[in-house]
Structures are given as C-alpha cells and as structure tokens.
Amino acid sequence: MKSIIMAGGSGTRLWPFSRKSFPKQFLSLLGEDSFIEITTKRLMQFTAPEAVYVVAGGEYEFNISDHMSRALKREFNNLILEPMGRNTAPAIALTVKYLLDKAGADRDDIVFFSPSDHIIRPETELKKAIEDAKESARSHIVTFGIVPSKPETGYGYIELGDAAKGEIFKVKRFVEKPDRLTAEKYLQAGNYMWNSGMFLFSIGVILDAFKLYVPELYEMVTAWSYDEALEKYSTLASISIDYAVMEKAKNILCRKVDVVWNDIGSWESLYDLLPKDDNGNAVLGEAELLNTKNSLVITNKTLTALVGMDNTAVIATEDAILVTHRKDTQRIKELVDQMKVKNRPQVTEHVTTYRPWGSYTILEEGLRYKIKRLVVLPERTLSLQRHKHRSEHWVVVKGMAEVLIGEKAVVLHENESIYVPIYEKHRLANPGKIPLEIIEVQNGEYVGEDDIERFEDIYGRV
C-alpha cells in the first residue's frame, strides 16, 4: 500500500501564524513536530517509509523535503509537485499518473490519501480501520467517517446507510457544513459522521470513477505523458474530489472511526486540543493573565498580557496581532480576504522567510537599509549572485562561513566580518556541521528582495 499526503492547503484560518509562504502544515503548535511530520509518523505505522508520498505546490518543495526527511529519518524524494493549485480531484489524478508512470504502480495497487494537518488520537484506531477497509477498497472508494462528539458546524458530514460489513457502511449522501440546529439533529440521529477527507481505494477503482464522472482527468492519466500532464495542468477545472466523484459515485463506502479527531481548521479547534489551566485558559508562549478565563493565547516572542477577558483568542507574532472572540475564529478567512484586497504583506509573508538553504529574519528596515539574521543549515549553499542597488556587510554570530567575493575565497569564524560591495558576484556557504548564523546589514538605494541576479544555484533557481 502507498500513502499520499495532500499538502496543498494554505490554512488561512490560522492566520497570523499560517501564511501563504509558510502555511499550516509546517507549523509546530503541539510540540516539536510540525503537523506534516505528525501526519507522516502516523502513516509510517502502516506504510513503509519508501511508500509515503506528498503532493503539493511547487513553492513548498524545499520545506516539504526538510520536514519529511526529519520525520522519515531519511532523504525524501517522493514529492509530486503541482504546477499550480487545482483542488483535490486534479491533485489525486496527478498523483495516480505519477504512481503509474514513475513509481511502478498498477491498477491493483491500494492507495491511501490523507490531509497533511489533522490530529487523530489514538492513532492505532486509524491503522485498524485501514486494515479493515483494504479488501473493500479493491472494488469501492472507502472514506473514513469520524463519530461526532459534538454538534460541529465547521465540518462536512457523511450520512450512513445500511451496514456493509462490520463498521463499514454504505453512504447515503455527503452533506455540506450545517448550521447549529442541523448539526444537533445530526448528532442525535447517530448515523451522521464527520467527513475526515481521508480516502482508500485501488488505482483501478479511482480510474473507473474518473472515466465515468470526470473524463478530462481520466484522459490526463491514461492518454497524456507525465510531462504533458504538468504542461496542461492549468487547463484542468479546479474541483474537489467530493464534488467531482464522491457525491456522484455509487460504489462509496464509509468506515466508521471512533477517535478524537481535529482538522486544526481554526484557532478554536486548536484550543480544544491544548491543556487548560484552572480557569479554562490555553496558553502557548510567554503570557500573563489576570481575571481572565476560557481564553486562548498564543505568542511566539512577544509577552502578551490579558486582563478581565473571557472567551477571547489573542494570537501574536512579531509583525501581527489577532484579537477575536473565540466563537468568531472561523471568520478569520474573511479577515484575510479583506487584507488581501489591501495588499497587506502580512497576509503572505512572515518576518522569517524560509529558503532551500535555511531562513532569514528581517530584524529592522528603513530608508536605504535593512538588517537580517541569516541561518544557513549545515552543508548548504546560497546561490552565486549579485545585487545592483545594495552592498552587504556580514558578521558571523555562530558557526563557520565559507565566502566567495569575486575571485577571493575566505573562511570566517565567530565574531569575524566581511564587506560585499555593490554589483560584486558573491556566494555564502556553511561547510560545517552546525547551523551558521549571520547578521546581514544591507545599504543602498533599493533593498527589495527582488534585487538579486543569480548565476549558479544548486536548487535550480537560476
């Protein structure tokens, strides 16, 4: 069996931590592991490491490789890159095409698709459910329905029909996110499950479904080469697998799964998972609370203080602070859309930006200058580059730097510095075994990130 992680979401409801440049799946809010690492380790309980794949947008290639390599404890190469986002149905079709053409799969292979950012406890129950559903997956599309624990309005539902085998049921219909009253009726009825967005089927079964209900995806998989599929991907309709197949197909089954399940679809969802103090407050980071109860406070570097608050969520990053009533956290997507219209950079970019070689954090910037902290990972190298409008001054804070400026190569250690003149070709590398930290001071008439001309780059960015 092969397991595929779908990691294309942007996670806007977890703004300001989750942003386009570093979305939810890469966040570590429940310990050291990111959500995609948690998902990967869960899949490894029933999937060989070499049979775990990820499908995602090309802009996340290097982040995914880093997170997956940490989780798998081996180099990760099973990455299927979408040229652009086209929702889950085309993503699944592209994955099937990749498995058939590049990974030696055939129609009989069973594949499991999972979102990248869900929490499931205990995880052994999911393993048991998948083992139970494998035989059915040879002739049916099996989805996994979570037994609801409350009248949740933020999830879609699956209405179950007659039992097929044990905990596997026929599916009557898929239901959109309900209002509160309807959700309460679903909970009382007992045959409505939360739609987890996880699927199990054989490649042949999903191909037959594409042939019946989404002919253009069937043609992509069966008639195009893989390179053609990438080239023509933008011509495909953007549609979810639920709309494209699940709501139409007749051979859908649902395996009930009675677990604690959370899709971390809002700050309220995260609040449900975090430990609380005696006043019902959940806190991550440095915070002081006085006469405050039932509130969520998450801050990464800023001391955050609340006085006399109730049912409040305060989320603070270096460059943005969100304050909302907990019941309104599902509306953060509306707020993000509003800020997009105003072209606010905080919607897409963090103060810290991740690159294939490491990351940089903007410490301060103003007219004609910018100050950054660069972290270069061990044995990583930046591109050979130059800038037309700025010079740079580098000071090594930790580690060892290998620097090329023009034709001159030097090695710098802690507390040593070097000047990079304007329009001079240069390259920075970390030949050591520990992260290299550098303070970079830029000066010039323009210090924008697009003032960069690359000549050589091991990450293919020239």
pLDDT of residue 154: 87
**Length of the chain as a residue count:** 462
pLDDT of residue 184: 97
pLDDT tens-digit readout, 94-120:
999 999 999 999 999 999 999 999 999
pLDDT of residue 11: 77
For the segment 419-445, the average pLDDT, to the nearest whole number, is 97
Residue 149 CB neighbours (<10 A): 13
- DSSP symbol at 447: -
Residue 388 contacts residue 452 (beta carbons within 8 Å): no
Which pLDDT band holds residue 121 (cuts at 50, 70, 90)? very high
For 377-401, b/e burial (b = at least 16 CB within 10 A) is beebbbbbbbbeebebebbbeebbb
Domains of the chain listed by start with CATH number = 2-262 (3.90.550.10), 267-342 (no CATH), 352-456 (2.60.120.10)
Flag whether the pTM goes above 0.85. Answer: yes
% of the chain residues with pLDDT over 70: 100
pLDDT tens-digit readout, 382-408:
999 999 999 999 999 999 999 999 999
Q: Residue 422: is it exposed, middle or buried by C-beta count within 10 angstroms (0-12/13-18/19+)?
A: middle
pLDDT tens-digit readout, 303-329:
999 999 999 999 999 999 999 999 999
Q: Is the pLDDT of residue 413 over 80?
A: yes
Cis peptide leading into 215, omega within 30 of 0? no
pLDDT of residue 8: 83
Q: Is the pLDDT of residue 9 over 90?
A: no
Amino acid type, 208: D
pLDDT tens-digit readout, 197-251:
999 999 999 999 999 999 999 999 999 999 999 999 999 999 999 999 999 999 9
For the segment 268-275, the average pLDDT, to the nearest whole number, is 94
Q: Strand 110-115 relative to strand 2-6: parallel, antiparallel, unpaired?
A: parallel
pLDDT of residue 376: 98
- Average predicted confidence (pLDDT) for the chain: 96
Q: Is the pLDDT of residue 458 over 90?
A: yes
Spatial CB neighbours of 234, under 8 Å, sequence gap ≥ 6: 83, 84, 86
Both tokens of 65, joined, read: 């490789």
For 229-260, b/e burial (b = at least 16 CB within 10 A) is bbeebeebeebbbbbbbbeebeebbbbbbebe
CA distance 462 to 383: 8
CA distance 112 to 411: 49
pLDDT tens-digit readout, 16-75:
999 998 999 999 999 999 999 999 999 999 999 999 999 999 889 999 999 999 999 999
Q: Is the pLDDT of residue 10 over 80?
A: no
* 410 DSSP β-pair partners: 403
pLDDT of residue 87: 94
pLDDT of residue 90: 97
For the segment 430-443, the average pLDDT, to the nearest whole number, is 97
